[in-house]
Chain A
């Protein structure tokens, strides 16, 4: 009798042991001493300033975390793939990371263009994808348990902030939009157009588009000039925006410029120079790398120690965003515990409330209802050749989270 019970107990224990062992063994990318993160973004092509910075910022954070003991006894490792800012290449990169490299989760430092190519696959696959930069609505809407957005915010939120800033703070009612034809700048232009209509019942006086790599914007600028706007909102990459700004001044256009967050950076200023004076826009980070804030100075010193030979213009916004977001992920991984699973990571991320690595980052909050980590942007303006904070605070209640209720 006793022998039978003992055998029964042994069988149950053995089954539990095998099952628990199976759970750990089946969790890809997690070994007793490491957690493998797959990352992708553009490190070649016109948007490489995003991916290179994202990769470097993330690697620096991982090194710091590992040097401090890692995550519950495990070290983080990262495998990086180039997406060339292309949706198809991004999908190939993510499939490789998941199917061949068997990573535990995906950390995305791609732009919206690349990210959009991966969304359907990742949603279906169920692996956690933490998106640091892309603002395309499809990342977080419709809601998916495994998709998170960190440093950037959902593009309709851009629309809200842009519209409020332009209409209420700059008192502009005649606004022209000049945007690139790729996903991200087009989304920004759409969001501003929609929000100007929703909140203020006005439409842009002119909307024109350009292609990546364009070197002449005269046709678009002459169209805009004819509409006589008070502000010209430009959405795209700094290289094209700088040319457009210079050509606008050459055509005698004295309107103020407003730009998207990818351009609130030193890159635009070094290319556009005097033409950028007075330009305003929103930054995704509370402090730019040029800030004299002691925390930023200390971070900058660490960064320069890690990357002593990188060129002018770096670190940029994306170094900072990726760095801060890896810490958000690491914090959740710690709270997810030693027996790490995708479900536990999702639960830990959803419990993240106002977490930030320091003054260099905006706080991130996720809930069970929404996975938009950040709704705050910092208004900035170019004064004497430098981006400086503007005392603008949003007074209108955001509509973005209502749809998740």
Chain B
């Protein structure tokens, strides 16, 4: 294997890893705020892609579609949280998990009712001929994946570190009762966390749709996002990003060295090994709650 191939694989691994990282982030956000793992996150990706398809079909350019999809996804997240999650938030975790699974199934089934399983595509300005970096080839879309992940992480860092609402979310995550006693409206915090999370999921759909085509399985990423989040520790945003990138690289190199069978096997093997050696994940606190 030449250096060119090794570097080409690294680029590929980082780009697909960026997608896993974004899904991982979208899983961690509501978990941090409300302790709930949203197993419908894959279908939120699908929702974002199909909303983009609808809006593109109306003749809107991609750059106009992006904010509209994010607003639509945020609205969906708040509706889900307010109508389906909050009324049962004190129920056993298993109940909550099943509800999020059901939400995912409903979204996907509703999409299939109209579009069935055909593949569609939308035009985006970042889909074009590959960029040549010496002997390496880089799809501009993959560059957008990587840069978007960096931008999202930076934005979240600023949001949680410096904004009043971000600090309120952190306080709620640490101790909701104390946060409420301090005057924080934790209902709003939960809603915002879900809105942020569904926006991130839909953003992944916006990125993936123009590159790999839109079909109901486009959001078949929940498992990978979950692994990214678990590797990262599930309570750390930076950890989820690191976990996603690591997973992307592991998967790509495992596929290249050992074939398609090992492409999925190696990352899961590493996950088990990591959890045995460091159950709290790469960046998680030792008291992190289990998903």
Q: What residues make up the interface of A, taking CB atoms closer than 8 Å to B?
A: 44-49, 52, 181, 208-211, 213-216, 218-220, 222-223, 226, 238-239, 242-243, 246-247, 249-252, 267, 270-271, 273, 309-314
Partner of A49, one of B12, B15, B116, B213: B116
CB distance from B48 to the nearest CB of A (A): 15
Whether, in the assembled complex, B130 has its beta carbon less than 8 Å from a beta carbon of chain A, the answer is: yes
B117 touches A46 (CB 8 A): yes
B220 touches A213 (CB 8 A): yes
Contacts of B160 in A (CB 8 A): none
CB distance from A56 to the nearest CB of B (A): 10
B215 touches A239 (CB 8 A): yes
B212 — nearest CB in chain A belongs to which residue?
A: A243
B213 — nearest CB in chain A belongs to which residue?
A: A271
B255 touches A311 (CB 8 A): no
Given A239-B217, A311-B114, A208:B259 Cβ within 8 A: yes
Given A218-B8, A222-B256, A311:B116 Cβ within 8 A: yes
Bound-state CA distance A222–B252 (Å) is: 11
Contacts of A267 in B (CB 8 A): 118-119
4 pairs of A and B residues whose beta carbons are closest in the complex: A313-B118, A219-B256, A218-B12, A219-B255
Given contacts A218-B12, A271-B119, A312-B118, 11 further A-B contacts (CB under 8 A): A209-B260, A215-B212, A222-B8, A238-B119, A246-B211, A250-B137, A251-B130, A271-B213, A309-B114, A311-B118, A313-B116
A220 touches B255 (CB 8 A): yes
CB distance from A289 to the nearest CB of B (A): 13
CB distance from B246 to the nearest CB of A (A): 15
Contacts of A309 in B (CB 8 A): 114
A312 touches B120 (CB 8 A): yes
Whether, in the assembled complex, B115 has its beta carbon less than 8 Å from a beta carbon of chain A, the answer is: yes
Bound-state CA distance A64–B213 (Å) is: 36
CB distance from A22 to the nearest CB of B (A): 45
CB-based A-B contact count at 8 angstroms: 110
B259 touches A216 (CB 8 A): no
Given A210-B260, A211-B264, A243-B212, A216:B252 Cβ within 8 A: yes
Contacts of A226 in B (CB 8 A): 5
B261 touches A181 (CB 8 A): yes
Contacts of B261 in A (CB 8 A): 181, 209
Given A222-B5, A223-B256, A48:B117 Cβ within 8 A: yes
Whether, in the assembled complex, B263 has its beta carbon less than 8 Å from a beta carbon of chain A, the answer is: yes
Number of B interface residues at 8 Å Cβ cutoff, please give it.
38
Given A209-B259, A252-B130, A44:B252 Cβ within 8 A: no
Q: What residues make up the interface of B, taking CB atoms closer than 8 Å to A?
A: 5, 8-9, 12, 15-16, 19, 112, 114-121, 129-130, 137, 139, 208, 211-213, 215-217, 220, 251-253, 255-256, 259-261, 263-264
Given A49-B116, A242-B119, A219:B252 Cβ within 8 A: yes
Bound-state CA distance A249–B5 (Å) is: 16
Contacts of A214 in B (CB 8 A): 260, 263
Bound-state CA distance A170–B253 (Å) is: 34
Bound-state CA distance A311–B118 (Å) is: 8
CB distance from A401 to the nearest CB of B (A): 34
A249 — nearest CB in chain B belongs to which residue?
A: B130
Bound-state CA distance A222–B211 (Å) is: 19
Contacts of B129 in A (CB 8 A): 250
Contacts of B8 in A (CB 8 A): 218, 222, 251
B260 touches A314 (CB 8 A): no
Bound-state CA distance A188–B216 (Å) is: 26
A44 — nearest CB in chain B belongs to which residue?
A: B112
Partner of B260, one of A220, A273, A313: A220
Bound-state CA distance A47–B116 (Å) is: 11
Bound-state CA distance A216–B139 (Å) is: 12
Contacts of A215 in B (CB 8 A): 16, 19, 208, 212
CB distance from A228 to the nearest CB of B (A): 14
Contacts of A44 in B (CB 8 A): 112
Bound-state CA distance A249–B127 (Å) is: 13
Bound-state CA distance A211–B255 (Å) is: 10
Chain A to chain B contacts (Cβ below 8 Å), 18 pairs:
A45-B117, A208-B259, A208-B260, A209-B261, A216-B251, A222-B5, A222-B8, A222-B256, A226-B5, A243-B211, A243-B212, A250-B137, A250-B139, A251-B8, A252-B130, A271-B121, A310-B116, A311-B120
Which of B12, B16, B119, B217 lies at the interface centre, i.e. has the most chain A CB atoms within 10 A of its CB?
A: B119
A314 touches B116 (CB 8 A): yes
Bound-state CA distance A246–B130 (Å) is: 10
Contacts of A223 in B (CB 8 A): 256
CB distance from B3 to the nearest CB of A (A): 12
Contacts of B213 in A (CB 8 A): 239, 242-243, 270-271
Bound-state CA distance A252–B8 (Å) is: 12
CB distance from B4 to the nearest CB of A (A): 9
Bound-state CA distance A239–B118 (Å) is: 9
Contacts of A222 in B (CB 8 A): 5, 8-9, 256
Bound-state CA distance A210–B12 (Å) is: 16
Bound-state CA distance A250–B15 (Å) is: 14
Bound-state CA distance A226–B5 (Å) is: 10
B119 touches A213 (CB 8 A): no
Given A181-B261, A213-B220, A273:B118 Cβ within 8 A: no
Which of A218, A246, A267 lies at the interface centre, i.e. has the most chain B CB atoms within 10 A of its CB?
A: A218
Which of A47, A214, A219 lies at the interface centre, i.e. has the most chain B CB atoms within 10 A of its CB?
A: A219
